[in-house]
C-alpha cells in the first residue's frame, strides 16, 4: 500500500534522509567543537600570557614556560577555529537543507496530498524528487555521506491529514520548537550572566588596583575584559538569540495553522493540500532563514 512501511519507495527515501541527517549532524558537531575549543584556547592564551608576565620577575623558568604555553594556545586557536569556518558551515547547512527537503517530501507523500493525492504511481515521483535533491544542489556533498549507514527506524505512521497533524505537526510543536526555544532562552540568559559577572569582576579588580595600587591585579582587568568579549563573540557566532526568536516565531505560526485547521468543518481535499503545504512551508522558511543566517553571519 502506498505510504505504508512496506512501500519500497518511502522506505528507501526515509533511509536516504537518515544518511543526510547524520552527515549534517556530524558537521554540526565539528563546527560547535571547533568554536568552543577556539574560545577556550583564546581565553587560556590571555590568562597564561598575563600570568607569565607576572611570574618572570621571581621565577624565570616558570615564566618562560607559561609564556610558551600562552604562545602555543594563541597559535592553535585560529587553526582550530578553521575547522568550523565558512566552508564547513556552508557544507553543514546544505546537508541539512537536503535532509529537510527529503523529510518534507516524505511527509507529503505519506499524507497523500498535493501531487501525491490519488496517484498510484506516487512512489516513482517520490523517488525522482528525492534523487533531484541529492544530485542537484548536493552532488558535491556526497563525500560527507560516505561510510554512513541509515539508522533503522520506522517510517512515520502518517496515512492522511489527521495522522499528519498528530505525527508531524504536534510533534514538531511539542517535541522540537517549544523545547528548542526554551533551550535557546536559557543559553542567552547564561551568556548574559557570564558577561555581567566578568564585567563586575573587572570593575572590582580595577577599583582594587586604583585604590590600593596593586599592580598585578590591574593586569588581570584586561584578561577579564578579553574573556567577556570572547564570550559575547561566541554567543553571537552561535546565534542563540536569533535561534530563540526563530523557534518561537515558527512555533506560533504552526499553532495558528493548527487552530485554523481544527476549526474547519468537512474540509475539501484542496483545503487539506493547502494546509499541509502551508505547514511544510513554515518549517521550510524557518530552516532557510536559519541556514542563511549561519552562512552569511
Low-confidence ranges of the chain (pLDDT < 70): 1-6, 119, 136-138, 289-297
Q: Are residues 83 and 136 in the same domain?
A: yes
Q: What is the pLDDT of residue 237?
A: 74
Question: Quick one: DSSP state of residue 160?
Answer: S
Distance (Å, rounded) from C-alpha 278 to C-alpha 281?
5
Q: Are residues 60 and 164 in the same domain?
A: no
Q: What is the pLDDT of residue 287?
A: 75
Distance (Å, rounded) from C-alpha 292 to C-alpha 65?
44
Last residue of a domain, one of 159, 182, 203: 159
Range of the domain at 143: 1-159
pLDDT in tens, 29-74: 999 999 899 989 999 999 999 999 999 888 999 999 999 999 999 9
Last residue of a domain, one of 135, 159, 183: 159
Distance (Å, rounded) from C-alpha 66 to C-alpha 152?
50
Cβ atoms of 10 and 126 within 8 Å: the answer is: yes
Q: Are residues 155 and 48 in the same domain?
A: yes
Residue partners of 227: CB distance under 8 A and separation at least 6:
43, 46, 198
Cβ atoms of 17 and 205 within 8 Å: the answer is: no
Q: Are residues 65 and 137 in the same domain?
A: yes
Last residue of a domain, one of 114, 133, 159: 159
How many domains, in total, are found in the chain? 2
Question: Quick one: DSSP state of residue 118?
Answer: T
Q: Are residues 144 and 164 in the same domain?
A: no
Q: Are residues 12 and 78 in the same domain?
A: yes
Our CA angle for 30, 282, 118, nearest 5°, is 110
Amino acid at each position: 500500500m502506498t505510504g505504508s512501511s512496506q512501500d519500497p519507495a518511502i522506505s528507501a527515501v526515509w533511509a536516504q534522509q537518515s544518511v543526510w541527517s547524520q552527515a549534517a549532524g556530524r558537521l554540526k558537531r565539528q563546527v560547535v567543537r571547533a568554536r568552543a575549543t577556539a574560545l577556550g584556547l583564546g581565553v587560556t592564551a590571555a590568562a597564561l600570557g598575563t600570568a607569565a608576565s607576572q611570574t618572570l620577575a621571581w621565577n624565570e623558568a616558570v615564566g618562560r614556560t607559561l609564556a610558551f604555553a600562552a604562545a602555543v594556545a594563541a597559535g592553535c586557536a585560529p587553526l582550530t577555529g578553521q575547522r568550523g569556518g565558512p566552508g564547513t558551515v556552508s557544507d553543514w547547512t546544505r546537508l541539512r537543507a537536503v535532509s529537510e527537503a527529503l523529510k518534507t517530501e516524505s511527509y507529503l507523500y505519506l499524507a497523500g496530498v498535493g501531487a501525491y493525492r490519488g496517484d498510484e504511481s506516487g512512489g516513482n515521483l517520490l523517488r525522482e524528487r528525492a534523487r533531484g535533491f541529492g544530485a542537484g544542489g548536493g552532488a558535491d556533498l556526497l563525500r560527507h555521506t560516505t561510510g554512513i549507514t541509515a539508522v533503522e527506524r520506522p517510517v512515520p505512521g502518517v496515512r492522511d491529514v489527521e495522522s499528519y497533524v498528530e505525527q508531524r505537526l504536534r510533534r514538531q510543536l511539542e517535541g522540537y520548537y517549544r523545547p528548542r526555544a526554551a533551550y535557546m532562552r536559557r543559553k542567552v540568559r547564561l551568556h548574559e550572566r557570564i558577561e555581567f559577572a566578568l564585567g563586575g569582576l573587572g570593575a572590582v579588580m580595577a577599583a582594587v588596583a586604583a585604590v590600593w595600587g596593586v599592580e598585578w591585579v590591574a593586569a588581570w582587568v584586561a584578561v577579564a575584559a578579553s574573556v567577556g568579549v570572547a564570550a559575547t563573540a561566541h554567543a553571537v557566532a552561535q546565534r542563540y538569540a536569533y535561534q530563540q526568536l526563530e523557534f518561537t516565531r515558527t512555533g506560533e505560526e504552526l499553532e495558528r495553522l493548527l487552530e485554523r485547521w481544527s476549526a474547519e468543518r468537512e474540509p475539501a481535499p484542496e483545503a487539506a493540500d493547502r494546509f499541509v503545504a502551508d505547514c511544510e512551508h513554515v518549517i521550510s522558511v524557518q530552516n532557510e532563514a536559519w541556514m542563511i543566517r549561519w552562512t552569511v553571519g
